Amino acid sequence: MNTPNYRMPFSPENLMKEGGSVETCDEAESIAHNIMLLITTKKGENRYDAAYGNEVWNLEFDNGVNSSMWETIFINSLKQQIRTYEPRITDAKVNAHLEFVEHNYDTKEHTEIKKKVKIAINAKMEASGERFGFSTEIFLSPMSID
């Protein structure tokens, strides 16, 4: 039996309409939604499962963690989360690269520097054997320099 994959974010309004239904998506998109949740959820934040989420967010304000350490912790935690919470993919290869991005605004008198992480995952979908690819970029923190 094929279980439907529901699109996120869930919209209860659509379900409440006469003849309403819940939007679905293909398996790859559903996996991508779950991976994004695994990336952005802090370990301990999910009230139903304290182990769900990436432990790197516990180091958010730790100045003793350099970029290389942050990347290693992020990758190792995400790999473990995928093994535990995303059984629809196997052999996941996770890469993360942290970089600093400068931006000058015409309306501000200072340069803003943000940390950005580029994340890429390559894996195999368990049911079909097809290749699964995921990539995203997330800005982590703004910092200003006058």
CATH number of the domain that residue 122 is part of:
3.10.450.40
Q: How confident is the model at residue 1 (pLDDT cuts 50, 70, 90)?
A: very low
CA angle (65 as vertex; 64, 71 as ends), nearest 5: 175
Q: Quote the pLDDT of residue 10.
A: 64
CA-based Rg of the chain, rounded to a whole angstrom? 18
In eight-state DSSP terms, residue 39 is: H
Q: Report residue 4's pLDDT band, with 50, 70 and 90 as the boundaries.
A: low
Amino acid at 14: N
Q: Is pLDDT above 80 for 40?
A: yes
Domain count, the chain: 1
pTM of the complete model: 0.79
Percent of the chain with pLDDT over 70: 79
Q: Print the domain residue range for 35.
A: 5-145
Give the mean model confidence (pLDDT) for residues 106-111: 74
Q: Is 17 helix (H, G, I), strand (E, B) or coil?
A: coil
